Every structure is written in C-alpha cells, then in structure tokens.
Copies of this chain bind each other. A is one copy, B any other.
Amino acid sequence: MNTLSYGLLSLLSKNSRTGYELMQHIQPFWPAKHSQIYPLLAQLEQKGCVEFVHVPQSDKPDKKVYSLTDTGLKALQEWIGMPTDAPATRDEFALKVYCIGLVSKAEAMKMLVEREDYYIKRKVHYTQSFEKLVKLSEKPLEELEMDEPLFGNYVLLRKALHKLDADLNWCEWMKSKLK
C-alpha cells in the first residue's frame, strides 16, 4: 500500500466518491492522473479496504461510487499513526529563477507575470472553495472542532491560502527587483 492509496482512503473517510472525483480532489495534496487511481481502487477493493456500487446514468457514463469499509478505516487509522514523510515539491520555475540572469530583464519579467497569473488563478479557485465551505457549514468555520467533517477541509484551505499569499508577495517583490 503506497501513500496515494492511503490518500484515497483519507478522502473516502468523509464522502463516498467515484474514481473520477477522487482524482480531482486529491490533486492539491498528491497530484495523480486517473490512469493511476483506477488500478489502485481495484487493488483496494480486492484487499477489502473499499467497496463500490454501480450507478447507471443516462446522460453521462455509468459510474462506480466507492466507500470506505471497516477494514479500510482500520488501515487508515494505523497509517496516520506511522511516521510521516517530509513534503516534496518539484518546481521547474525555481530552477529557472536560479539562473534567471541568463535571459533579458524583459523575458524575466514576462516569466514572473505568467507565474503570478497562475498563482492568482489558484487563489481565486481556493477562495471560491472557501466560500462554498462557509455556505456548507452550519456554524462559523473558526468554531469547527477537530472531529467535525468539514474541519480538515477548512484547515487545509487556510494552509493553502496562506502559502499562496507568501508566493504572491514574493512575485510582487521580484517584479519590483526587475524594474
């Protein structure tokens, strides 16, 4: 069982989901394509960690809705208690910035503006997710307790937004350096 498998169980511990949905929701924490997720779900099912129901649809393709089993829940809890790997970031842009002196100021500025646009789009996306969360919750998000279903969502969104602000501030600062 690899980390991605446990990641899928983590998501399923809150909601039953299709492979397609799991693929979409796991991206911020563990980027993965559908071609990686579908075989893992089949493996998890064979191990008894998840189960699924076929849901025929008329307008869209039929789907398989997966749920966590008791076996899966136990595996998930054990995994949480195990030592956790350090986060790993692969950032092509940082590699380019390291030797940015090799191109003109204009080209460097263009790259920075593009990356800033990317971060702004991310921020808009996360801000919308945040607003959806606010509407979904019966109580103010700050009052959510650890054992409530939206807690994980809330604290991870905050984490992502704070990091994005750090990145955006850095972009602004870099742009001022290139003028």
Residues of A within 8 A of B (CB): 3, 6-7, 10-11, 13-14, 26, 28-31, 73, 76-77, 79-81, 84-103, 105, 107-108, 111, 114-115, 118, 146-149, 151-153, 155-156, 158-159, 162-163, 165-167, 169-170, 173-174, 177-178
Number of copies: 2
Q: Which residues does chain B contribute within 8 Å of A93, judged by CB atoms?
A: 84-85, 87
Q: Is the CB of A146 within 8 A of B95?
A: no
Q: Is the CB of B155 within 8 A of A97?
A: yes
Q: Is the CB of B98 within 8 A of A92?
A: no
7 cross-chain CB contacts under 8 A: A3-B92, A7-B95, A30-B91, A30-B95, A31-B90, A80-B107, A87-B90
Selected contact of A84 from candidates B6, B14, B88, B96, CB within 8 Å:
B96
- For A73, give the chain B residue with the smallest CB separation: B102
Question: Which DSSP category, helix, strand, loop or mixed, fits chain A's interface?
Answer: helix
Q: Is the CB of A101 within 8 A of B151?
A: yes
Q: Which residues does chain B contribute within 8 Å of A76, judged by CB atoms?
A: 99, 102
A141–B61 Cα gap in the complex (Å)?
58
Q: Known contacts A146-B105, A170-B159: does B100 contact A152 (CB below 8 Å)?
A: yes
| Distance in Å: Cβ of A78 to nearest Cβ of chain B | 10
Q: Which residues does chain B contribute within 8 Å of A156, judged by CB atoms?
A: 94, 97-98
Q: Is the CB of A178 within 8 A of B98?
A: no
| Distance in Å: Cβ of A110 to nearest Cβ of chain B | 9
A151–B167 Cα gap in the complex (Å)?
18
| Distance in Å: Cβ of A11 to nearest Cβ of chain B | 7
Q: Is the CB of A91 within 8 A of B146?
A: no
Q: Is the CB of B87 within 8 A of A92?
A: yes
Selected contact of A169 from candidates B29, B97, B153, B162, CB within 8 Å:
B162
